[in-house]
Amino acid sequence: MPVAPLNPAALYRPCDPRDLEFETTEDLDIVDGIIRQDRVIEAVHFGIGIHQEGYNLFALGPSGTGKFALIRGVLEQRARAEAVPSDWCYVFNFEDVHRPRALCLPPGQGLEFMRDMEQLVAALHRSLPSLFESDEYRIHAQALAEDLEQLQERAMTEIREQAKAKDVILLQTPTGFTLAPVRDGKPLGPNEFQTLPEQDRHRIEQDIHTLQGELRKVMHQLPVWKKRADELLETLHREMVSAAIESPFDHLSAKYANQAAVVDYLCQAQQDVVEHFRQLLPERESPPSDPWVQASDDGPPWHHRYCVNVILSHPENGGAPVVVVDLPTHHQLVGRIEHRSHLGALETDFTMIRAGALHQANGGYLIVDAAQLLMQPFAWDTLKRLLRAGEIRIESLAHMTSLISTLSLEPEPIPLDVKVVLIGERHVYYWMYDSDPEFCELFKVAVDFDDRLEWTLDTVRGYAEFIALEVQRAGLRHLDRAAVARLVEHGARLAEDNERLSTHLRSIGDLVRESDYWARIAGRAIVGCGEVQRAIDAQVARADRISRRLIEEITRGSILLETRGERVGQVNGLAVMRLGGCAFGHPSRITARVRLGQGEVIDIERVVKLGGPIHSKGVLILQGFIAGRYALDDPLSFSASLVFEQSYGGIDGDSASSAELYALLSALAAVPIRQALAVTGSVNQLGEVQAVGGVNDKIEGFYDVCAARGLVPGQGVLIPAANVTHLMLRADVREAVAQGRFAVYPIATIDEGIEVLTGQVAGERGRDGAFPVASLNARVEARLIGFSKRLQRAASSGAL
């Protein structure tokens, strides 16, 4: 029974505005504006709910399907109910100045601790100078000075008494102390000393020598006594400073008693203040030797070491963080250590440590674009290493790559507890999975977004809410329900399926904005169906230059394509061209030629390396179909050539294999094919016509060529019957079908298709194993048997 063309109702599925329970999008109560994908949401909840190593997530799917919005919405909803992570800060390490300490504090206490330390340092600057101006300090210092003076005086007094007993006097000169003989209480000069009897001179010289020894002992003791006095004075300083700062430090230690690391740091800081208290005084007694103590006019002040660098602080009721990284470089992930220029050199300290995205997301969730991550040097390797180690270690790329060998800071690592969500296209996920063994160990949860959803009332409602949200976000005009219905229909066209809706919400959002533009031009307060259709038409018009040019060349005859008459071995095939975001159907002539041969079907496209592997596979399949259906008792003894005429670029895909087979059958049977028809569809070895992609664009492409030349009765397109559910054709095509000026034929088998194309019965084998006389299949088989017999006669006669 001949195949009947499709009814116009089968060419398009309308969305009835009466099914939408609102007048305009203003009436909608928006929940979140996200079209739900239950399988995706279940995978996300599983990934964020399982707290095991390696269960990070990868959200994969086409761009523009709302992956980011859905993932972020689910994570933020979950994060609001989770505990707020701890604050983290870096402080000076009094034991190793190059390894700053990391302190963990409860949420909100990081900034509070920083302010407490600032107030403490300010209080020390006020209290310590006054401490050394107090009467108590003066009394104790004066007592120590007097003790030293008395000790020195007693020692010198003993020397004087010994000298006096031996007629010697101790004199103090500008160069020091000296001993001289005396007579009658007066020192003797050299001449007078020489007048003394030799025995007296000898005795006095011995006494002076003995006294000089005693004097030297005393003089040697003076520095020792001075040092001892200085030590006692320093002990006094430390005791007084220790007593003065004990109360504020004890107050802070009590305040942070539950934080052992903070208390330990405060104890070390308290000892350091006692050790270097002079640096907090207005005038310094001597330049310090500790490089961290030294200060310059351009450098930071000495008390900078008591600062607290809060790199991460969270509000107490903010929930867990959800952090999005736009540019996931190495330093954006792990943080960095900044430097300042000082006296021609670069220097740094713990206050110049800056947090990265992993610090900010610690205790929560981190969302990263996978493609961007892979493009940044060392970023992917860094992320893997930190996730495996379970800690954040701030490292510079210069040190990692050994480009620079200088002394720098090595901040103490911070424990890492984060769920990482990578977002990317499917090919990125599969490439990472296949090329990196560590990927599947660290990202065990795949969140696979579908590019289309079943057309139901729920998905239509989701479309409407998404449209309403876009209107609200961008401050656009609201859409009436007819406009929303037209957008739903366009979503089915994008999905190329009248039972599915596309999840490429970016395209729908763009169309909403463009519809608002046309409504503004028309002066309408509400966007209607007309404005949506105008926006769709304008999108096509902006991108159809190549399509128009090809149609123009066909109508002018530059590209040979017949839409009327009949031809043997010639058929109109349909292909889809995709340029940027534009796709359109392009008909082209396919021809077949046959002659006596060795059973070979030559694919000219493959021979000249213009045909891709899938196209070549299609040609081999149709060769298998011929061999399996006709002349089963005879060898195939024909040679055929197939070609896309006026094709100058690469060809791939098997959607033209049925058209090639029709051309081949026409050439073998010498039966002409109606050129008013075009064909698309792939074929298998059993002769079944299989579904192909781009069926709407292909039909409309041939229709546009026919319309440009003027529609005549009998024009139409043959499509696979399996593609009927994919039809969402333009209004002008549907109207032409309704008026009988164009037709769309659903074809299930090659026999059905060849009957429509030739107007002859294909014929089926009877019980006798033969095709009906005068049927097309009988003519094909007779031609092939004839080729075989001719080849056998030529072989027996020695002509071969």
Contacts of 239 (CB under 8 A, 6+ apart): none
Return the pLDDT at 624.
Answer: 87
Residue 342 lies in a domain: yes
Return the pLDDT at 35.
Answer: 76
- Could you tell me if 336 and 435 lie in one domain? yes
Residue 285 lies in a domain: no
Domain boundary among 484, 509, 543: 543
- Could you tell me if 134 and 254 lie in one domain? yes
Q: How many helices (H) and strands (E) does the chain have?
A: 26, 30
- Could you tell me if 340 and 370 lie in one domain? yes
Contact in structure between 347 and 292 (CB atoms under 8 Å): no
**Does 289 score more than 50 pLDDT?**
no
Cα gap 423→548, rounded to integer Å: 38
- Could you tell me if 337 and 461 lie in one domain? no
Cα gap 327→356, rounded to integer Å: 12
Contacts of 222 (CB under 8 A, 6+ apart): 152
Structurally, how many domains does the chain consist of?
4
Contact in structure between 347 and 340 (CB atoms under 8 Å): yes
DSSP letter for each residue of 622-662: HHHHHHHHS-TTS---EEEEEEETT--S-B--STTHHHHHH
Contact in structure between 616 and 637 (CB atoms under 8 Å): no
- Could you tell me if 164 and 252 lie in one domain? yes
pLDDT digits (tens, 9 = 90+) for 607-618: 777 777 877 787
The residue-averaged pLDDT of 262-284 equals: 83
In terms of average pLDDT, the best of 36-45, 122-131, 614-623 is: 36-45
* pTM over 0.85, yes/no: no
Residue 582 lies in a domain: yes
Helix (H, G, I), strand (E, B) or coil at 728: coil
Domain that residue 240 falls in: 130-259+273-280
Residue 44 lies in a domain: no
Cα gap 303→285, rounded to integer Å: 17
647: nearest Cα among 551, 705, 571, 560: 560
Buried b (16+ CB within 10 A) or exposed e, 128-163: beebeeeeeeeebbeebeeebeebbeebbeebeebb
Return the pLDDT at 682.
Answer: 93
Domain boundary among 428, 448, 468: 448
pLDDT digits (tens, 9 = 90+) for 754-777: 999 999 999 999 888 899 988 999
Q: Which CATH number goes with the domain that contains 485?
A: 1.10.8.60
- Could you tell me if 383 and 458 lie in one domain? no
Contact in structure between 503 and 454 (CB atoms under 8 Å): no
The residue-averaged pLDDT of 174-186 equals: 67
Considering only 399-408, 411-420, 679-688, 724-733, which range has the smallest mean pLDDT? 399-408
**Does 191 score more than 70 pLDDT?**
no
Considering only 342-346, 418-422, 593-597, 734-738, which range has the smallest mean pLDDT? 342-346
Contact in structure between 596 and 746 (CB atoms under 8 Å): no
Torsion of CA 388, 393, 397, 401, to 10 degrees: -60
- Could you tell me if 539 and 554 lie in one domain? no
pLDDT digits (tens, 9 = 90+) for 217-242: 766 766 777 777 766 767 777 777 77
- Could you tell me if 575 and 586 lie in one domain? yes
Residue 248: CB atoms within 10 Å: 18
Residue 51 lies in a domain: no
- Could you tell me if 679 and 775 lie in one domain? yes
Give the distance between the most distant pair of CA atoms in the chain. Answer: 172
Q: Which residues pair with 588 in a beta bridge?
A: 573
pLDDT digits (tens, 9 = 90+) for 6-55: 999 999 999 999 989 899 999 988 876 677 788 898 999 999 999 999 99
Q: Is 217 a catalytic residue?
A: no
548: nearest Cα among 577, 572, 570, 574: 577
pLDDT greater at residue 161 or residue 718: 718
Residue 651 lies in a domain: yes
pLDDT digits (tens, 9 = 90+) for 438-448: 999 999 999 99
For 702, how many CA atoms within 13 A lie in the half-sphere containing its CB? 31
- Could you tell me if 605 and 734 lie in one domain? yes
Return the pLDDT at 290.
Answer: 43
Return the pLDDT at 175.
Answer: 63
451: nearest Cα among 69, 75, 37: 37
Tokens of residue 284, six digits? 């310094």
Contact in structure between 159 and 216 (CB atoms under 8 Å): no
Tokens of residue 400, six digits? 């990692």
Distances from the Cα of 81 to the Cαs of 40, 47, 76, 480, in angstroms? 21, 16, 9, 37
- Could you tell me if 405 and 483 lie in one domain? no
**Does 578 score more than 60 pLDDT?**
yes
Percent of all residues in the chain with a pLDDT value above 90, rounded to a whole number: 51
Helix (H, G, I), strand (E, B) or coil at 3: coil
Percent of all residues in the chain with a pLDDT value above 70, rounded to a whole number: 88
- Say how many Å lie between the first and final Cα of the chain, rounded: 45
Q: At what angle do helices 613-629 and 657-669 cross, to 10 degrees?
A: 40
pLDDT greater at residue 733 or residue 604: 733
The residue-averaged pLDDT of 202-208 equals: 71
Residue of 588, 657, 698, 788 with catalytic role: 698
Residue 516 lies in a domain: yes
pLDDT greater at residue 343 or residue 323: 323
pLDDT greater at residue 540 or residue 794: 540
Domain boundary among 417, 448, 479: 448
Contact in structure between 57 and 47 (CB atoms under 8 Å): yes
**Does 528 score more than 80 pLDDT?**
yes
Contact in structure between 187 and 171 (CB atoms under 8 Å): yes
Helix (H, G, I), strand (E, B) or coil at 528: coil
Return the pLDDT at 404.
Answer: 56
pLDDT greater at residue 149 or residue 492: 492
Return the pLDDT at 618.
Answer: 75
Return the pLDDT at 633.
Answer: 81
Residue of 655, 682, 775, 788 with catalytic role: 655
Q: Which CATH number goes with the domain that contains 654?
A: 3.30.230.10
**Does 710 score more than 70 pLDDT?**
yes
Residue 461 lies in a domain: yes
721: nearest Cα among 695, 691, 762: 691
In terms of average pLDDT, the best of 132-146, 227-241, 282-296, 580-594 is: 580-594
**Does 280 score more than 80 pLDDT?**
no
Q: Which CATH number goes with the domain that contains 441?
A: 3.40.50.300
pLDDT digits (tens, 9 = 90+) for 441-489: 999 999 999 888 999 998 999 899 999 999 998 999 999 999 999 999 9
Ramachandran sector of residue 564 (left: φ over 0; alpha: ψ -120 to 50; beta: rest): beta
Name the pLDDT band for 288 (thresholds 50, 70, 90). Answer: very low
pLDDT greater at residue 165 or residue 66: 66
Q: Is 655 a catalytic residue?
A: yes
Considering only 133-137, 257-261, 292-296, 731-735, which range has the smallest mean pLDDT? 292-296
- Could you tell me if 466 and 595 lie in one domain? no
409: nearest Cα among 674, 97, 194, 192: 97
